[in-house]
Amino acid sequence: MFNIRKAAVALSLILAANHASAEEKTAWRLFVADHAAPVVRAIDALTGNEIDNFKLKGPARLYATSSARMIFAVQRDDDVVSAMASGIVFGDHGDHGDITIEPPRLLDAEVHGRKPVHFVEHKGDIALFFDDEGLARVFSEKTALEGNPIIREVATSSPHHGVAAALGDHVLVTEPHPEKPADELPIGIKVLDATDARAGETYQCPDLHGEATSGNLLALACAEGLLIVRPGKDGPEIKHLPYRGLPSGKSTTLIGGKGLQYFLGNYGPDAVVLVDPEGSTPFRLIELPTRRVHFAVDPIRSKFAYVFTEDGKLHRIDVISGALDGSIALTEPYSMDGHWNDPRPCIAVAGDRIAVTDPLKGLLHLVDAATFAKAAEIAVEGKPFNIVAVGGSGEAH
């Protein structure tokens, strides 16, 4: 006869033995795209060693998925988006998390189309927008990891500099300017259901450019404010949040907070704006000592974000107080005069280190996140430019 008590004791002994044999491991990887060469380098952020490098069709802008399992390389001028597996996989077991560490690899999961520009990922669903086709290609991270992304194509009325976002069965996609779609920014956003039928009218958003996700909110930047998208019972719910208490201007680039729900955007050449859609004062302007080059949020220390300015300094932003609370000189000056895509520093946060690329010197500068002091340098071949970080800690069995 089956003895429940003996079985439970045996099971608890097995689980205890497995837990005792587990080893706590930490892994952080930096994926760095060269400014001119068609290559992405995977670098161990803890040792500084190059793990591998991957040849692409052209120079790329990189995006990491929220799961940290994939890196996408958008090659705007070469009409392709490539995908890489980060080699770091997390498993959630309630009271603890597991980590599996494998070599990174380039996947056979290319997505082709004319002039890919915007990449948006939301809860494992990915939307790529191809400007010269006016077309979004939507697929899941899961099918891309398997090397065969199952693509849903969502067309607009004409080619334009647009964007799309997949929210469950619904897709948000931009409405091009009716008279000059190729020259002017989109005028709004429309929602399509699972059959690609329009759900409701176009939500007005003149000069739409810039989007980000924080928590369950998606924000889109417009000339007169932001569109805030929330999940609703019958699909996305969209409301306009007008700029208030700010000088004349607008955001054109947004990033979303992690842990805390907020957005950080540019606002003129030498300022950033903190956006709290639920706050009584939704917009707080932070003026910078000189022009802004790049900015990023800290996914681990949720109250902090970082901005790099053209004088070669990295600044820390306390998003609770809405003020700069530290600065450190890292590089020679990088002027914002010149072409928008000239090689300039970019920021990524890898655990307890903040990494800043220095393309003209061929370096990565690492800053200790706790002390906000220079910690190390990593020499990188070529011109290290765009950068993303993936990693964390867990139990390895």
Strand locations in 123-216 (E)? 125-130, 135-140, 152-155, 164-167, 170-175, 188-192, 203-204, 211-214
Look at residues 262, 179, 186 and name the one whose alpha carbon lies nearest to residue 222: 186
Domain total in the chain? 1
**Residue 375 located in a structural domain:** yes
Cα separation of 79 and 380, whole Å? 26
**Residue 216 located in a structural domain:** no
Mean per-residue pLDDT for 133-137?
98
Look at residues 336, 384, 387 and name the one whose alpha carbon lies nearest to residue 359: 384
**Residue 394 located in a structural domain:** yes
Pairing between β-strand 323-329 and β-strand 347-350 as defined by DSSP bridges: unpaired
Helix (H) or strand (E) holding 62: strand 61-64
- Residue 103: count other Cβ atoms within 10 Å of its Cβ: 9
Q: Which of 205-214, 229-238, 366-375 has the lowest mean pLDDT?
A: 229-238
Confidence at residue 3, expressed as pLDDT on a 0 to 100 scale: 55
For 298, residues 6+ apart whose C-beta sits below 8 A from its C-beta are 258, 304, 305, 306, 349, 354, 369
**Residue 356 located in a structural domain:** yes
* Local confidence band at 12 (pLDDT 50, 70, 90 cut-offs): low
Look at residues 279, 217, 229, 284 and name the one whose alpha carbon lies nearest to residue 251: 284
Q: Do 208 and 216 meet the contact criterion of CB atoms below 8 Å apart?
A: no
Cα separation of 119 and 136, whole Å? 10
Threshold 0.85, pTM exceeds: yes
Alpha-carbon distances, residue 340 vs 13, 52, 136 (angstroms): 61, 29, 25
For 42, residues 6+ apart whose C-beta sits below 8 A from its C-beta are 29, 30, 31, 50, 51, 52, 53, 54, 84, 87, 104
Identify the residue whose tokens are 């080059």. 293
Cα separation of 12 and 279, whole Å? 47
**Tokens for 227?**
């569109």
pLDDT in tens, 288-332: 999 999 999 999 999 999 999 999 999 999 999 999 999 999 999
**Residue 320 located in a structural domain:** yes
* Local confidence band at 91 (pLDDT 50, 70, 90 cut-offs): confident
Confidence at residue 96, expressed as pLDDT on a 0 to 100 scale: 57
CATH number at residue 371: 2.40.128.630
Bridge partners for 166 per DSSP: 171
**Residue 167 located in a structural domain:** no
Find the domain containing 332 and state its range. 294-397
Cα separation of 96 and 53, whole Å? 32
**Residue 191 located in a structural domain:** no
**Residue 248 located in a structural domain:** no
Look at residues 151, 178, 74 and name the one whose alpha carbon lies nearest to residue 119: 74
* Local confidence band at 97 (pLDDT 50, 70, 90 cut-offs): confident
Look at residues 228, 356, 337, 363 and name the one whose alpha carbon lies nearest to residue 282: 228
